[in-house]
Amino acid sequence: MKILVTGGAGFIGSHVVDGFIDGGHEVVVVDDLSTGFENNINQKAKFYKVNICDENKIDEIFKKEKPDVINHHAAQMDVRRSIKEPVFDANVNILGSLVLLQNCLKNNIKKFIYANSAGASYGEPEYLPIDEKHPVNAISEYGISKHTVEHYLYLHNNNYGLKYVSLRYPNVFGTRQEPDNEAGVVSIFASRMLKGKQPIIFGDGKQTRDFVFVSDIVNANLLALKNFTNRSYNTGSGKGTSVEEVFQTIRKKLNSDIKAMHSEERVGEISKCYFSYDKINNDFGWKPKISFEDGVTIILDYWKKRLK
């Protein structure tokens, strides 16, 4: 099977590319390297340095490569930037996705896997854990733009027969997550503390997030290849971990006496969230396998080698 992966040079996308290639698939990567890195890309993948909003170049790639499946990870992913530059955010996340969907229609491509954001889409929870029936009340432009694409997927399924799966990601963490351009608190804290620097906690640190290791997210994408159900799924752990707990876990594993600095809470971020994975477990048999603590150990080993 030939799979076109957008954002395949990024943190999550590059791991997904590796998973597809390990599974025996042919992979084409489209990434403009605005936040991704070419050295993340599997050498067995074919690479095009192209922005998904470039209609002419995307059209050429689709015609030339004729992929069987689109796996869409490319995105403007910064909540703060979406608030400051909502037009840019919508242009990449909504219009860029439409460029891909229009090319699916023109080239008779019938399978689409979409990487959505669970935390940003739902907004402040009315109950926990959040399941897929929870109201979608995003409180950031990023959350709105990411969720909007699901409506277009439904339309393309209903009107044109496109089969899809939307995976709603929690806070994914893992290797290749760059602290300078990724919103990954685990990597940010780990890299800073290994350098002897204080991490910055925005707000009181009691805000909770649902952390899932990147290898579990890869498995969800692999399962989606076999299960085009035309549905959306949370890929959470069902557990909430506070930012303070993240700091204390890393601090303990490093046997460090570093103290965190506190700064003002950031606009557009929710106070607590974690997600039920019952639906994807029932339909795909998926559940996370790497615990938060084990994931932190992997991250610390990775950064120790990087910083040598």
Distance CA 301, CA 101 (A): 40
Closest residue by Cα to residue 55 from 94, 96, 8, 107: 96
Structure tokens at 293: 């603590």
Give the span between the Cα atoms of 5 and 67, in whole angstroms. 10
176: helix, coil or strand? Answer: coil
**DSSP codes joined into one string, 117-137:** EHHHHH-S-SSSSB-TTS---
Category of 55 on φ-ψ map: left (φ > 0), alpha (ψ -120 to 50) or beta: alpha
List all residues 6 or more positions away from 84 whose beta carbon is below 8 Å from its beta carbon: none
Q: How far is CA 248 from CA 162, 257, 306, in A?
A: 46, 10, 22
Estimate the crossing angle of helix 292-306 against helix 243-253, to 10 degrees: 60
Instruction: State yes or no: is 142 an active-site residue.
Output: yes
70 and 8 Cβ atoms separated by less than 8 Å: no
Q: Which of 48, 122, 142, 277 is catalytic?
A: 142
Annotated active-site positions, please?
142
